Chain A
């Protein structure tokens, strides 16, 4: 399976701060990139998708993609305790099959 690496964490941030999550991938031909949020004991929930270089913003979430560097990131602004979860980076190599990283666990301290 194609490799997807995420910063290992856990990441602890104070409430209201920015949480920054990073992901690198090995397949240069990858076309689609996703961030899933997974609460403890729950299944992954799609929160962001990004397909072209640059930034994509959705509410308090911003995804950033740099295909030349094979790097994708997720910023969570104004972090809330409800953002405490594991965030999974997933990469589609163009065949609608996702390769996932191991996830980064984020804890937002009140």
Chain B
């Protein structure tokens, strides 16, 4: 069974630029999550989707972050404009039962 796919794996941008990340969950997994992991910290939930609907986006900085999952399968997370403090690994996960499985992540560096 293929795992969670993410792209790109690495991205370097300047502050105030925009960036987008893509995620394809494990086949059949209806719930998809985006997490932000800053170096030295545990992952922090940004947004949770159930099929193509948002379940929880309470921790998503909506002035600059947006996410969508239009067809209930793959998802994109966008940051516009980026700030230096957005430098982190952005992890996508999908859920089967109570267990969540992570993709390889996208390492974002904002200079």
Contact = CB atoms under 8 A, between A and B. Distances in A.
Interface of A: 1, 4, 32, 34, 36, 42-46, 49, 51, 88, 90, 92, 95-103
Contacts of A44: 43, 91, 102
Given A43-B102, A90-B42, A102-B42, 17 more contacts: A1-B59, A34-B99, A43-B103, A43-B105, A44-B91, A44-B102, A45-B102, A46-B99, A51-B98, A88-B42, A88-B43, A96-B31, A96-B48, A98-B43, A98-B45, A100-B44, A103-B41
Contacts, number: 51
- Interface of chain A, helix or strand or loop or mixed? strand
Nearest to B91: A43
Given A4-B42, A100-B42, A100-B44, A42 B98 contact: no
B41 A97 contact: no
Interface in B27-47: 31, 33, 40-45
B102 A97 contact: no
Interface residues of B, number: 22
A49 B102 CA distance: 15
B14 interface: no
Given A97-B48, A102-B40, A42 B99 contact: no
Nearest to A95: B56
Interface string B82-96: 000000010100010
B35 to A, nearest CB: 8
9 contacts: A43-B103, A43-B105, A44-B43, A49-B99, A97-B33, A97-B45, A100-B44, A101-B42, A102-B41
